[in-house]
Amino acid sequence: MASATNSLQRELDAACAAVQVAAVACSDIATIEARAISKDDRSPVTVADFTAQALVCAALAETSAFRAVVGEERAADVPAELGGELTTRIGAARGETVDVDRVSAWLALGEADPADHAWFWTLDPVDGTKGFLRGGQWAIALALIGDGVVQLGVLACPRHDGGLLLAARRGGGATSGPLFRPGLRVALQPGDGAGRMCESVEAGHSDHDRAARIAARLGLREAPLRIDSQVKYAAVARGEAVAYLRLPTSAAYREKIWDHAAGQIVVEECGGRVSDVDGRPLDFTRGRRLEANRGVIATRADLHARVLDAIALEGEERR
């Protein structure tokens, strides 16, 4: 038991180091130039998404006992014209010369099928790409899922509070430290939540009107904190918001596992609660998406039941 805990802690430390390297490499891109390219599903992707996925996958391949990575990006989606920029940036971050084939191979390490593995990493290399492009919040989110449970989570938040790295191990608590000064991590203490909830900037990702009615019902007087990416989970964990509401804007949409796994464990290991809008636990056994869940809420522990009641009372049919 003790040795399993120790080896998971070593995995977590290595995951933090991998995410830190990627965050530094991508923060640099953010300040120089970030062009958006449209993927087939028309969601934006930038050189940063591919840089971060390649760097994290390369690092995990060298350090981790768990080989499978379920990442958001695919090697086949890299536009040919980005090849030179990617090899230069990834080579600089790793301190070696790399070619396009090596970058493709690292990216492809992130294409595991969750159905094939009981334990696997899941990676959102640039969560909140729209925020990244807008100068708003973004995150690198890496989590280890084992037997359907999020076991480890790392969240790099490069533009939040000077750059933050949050990390959590199941049963081992959560830590927080400066992202750009590695090594300094202290136990994360939850705050009271500042009398407000947080939600997506993008109205297409979460129902803002319904959230406002729920906030009023809960007696939250402050305006919602609208920020991109899983930095919302960091805000709940740090007590900058009492709850993160992600209320479905369509009946068909199912959340992606890499948009929630790392955030969930960080909030839970700070004593908070995470579920879907019906109060069901997030089910990470259904593949790349949370097929058995609708929306997500993350709350201060004492508010979870009240938030669920308010959601039930402010039903979707009123829209």
Q: Does 49 bind ligand AMP (CB under 6 A)?
A: no
Binding of ligand AMP by 223 (CB under 6 A): no
Q: Burial letters for 5-32: b for 16+ Cβ neighbours within 10 Å, e otherwise?
A: eeebeebbebbbbbbbbbbbbbbebbee
List, edge to edge, every strand of the sheet that includes 139-146.
69-71, 119-127, 139-146, 149-157, 164-169, 173-178, 186-187
Between 11 and 259, name the residue whose CB sits nearer to ligand AMP. 259
Return the number of the residue (90 or 123) whose C-beta is nearest ligand AMP.
123
Tell which one of 13, 28, 202, 309 touches ligand AMP (CB under 6 A).
202
Contact at 8 Å (CB) between 284 and 150? yes
Is position 175 an interface residue for ligand AMP (rule: CB under 6 A)?
A: no
Q: Does residue 240 touch ligand AMP according to CB under 6 A?
A: no
Rounded distance, CA 303 to CA 309, Å? 10
Binding mask 257-276 for ligand AMP (x = CB under 6 A): --x-----------------
Q: How far is the CB of 127 from Mg ion (least distance, A)?
A: 4
Among 94, 170, 213, 256, binds ligand AMP (CB under 6 A): 256
Only one of the segments 9-17, 45-53, 198-206, 272-280 lies at the binding site for ligand AMP (rule: CB under 6 A); that segment is 198-206
Could you tell me how many residues of this chain bind ligand AMP (CB under 6 A)? 14
Amino acid at site 92:
A
- Asked if 228 interacts with ligand AMP (CB under 6 A), we say yes
Nearest to 262 by CA among 163, 137, 112, 142: 142
Closest CA to 54 of 109, 96, 98: 109
Catalytic residues: 49, 129
If one asks whether residue 127 binds ligand AMP (CB under 6 A), the answer comes out as yes
Closest approach of Cβ 195 to ligand AMP, in Å? Answer: 21
Segment interacting with ligand AMP (CB under 6 A) among 4-12, 82-90, 202-210, 235-243: 202-210
Q: Other C-beta atoms within 10 Å of 211: how many?
A: 24
DSSP string, 121-144: EEEEEEE-HHHHHHTS--EEEEEE
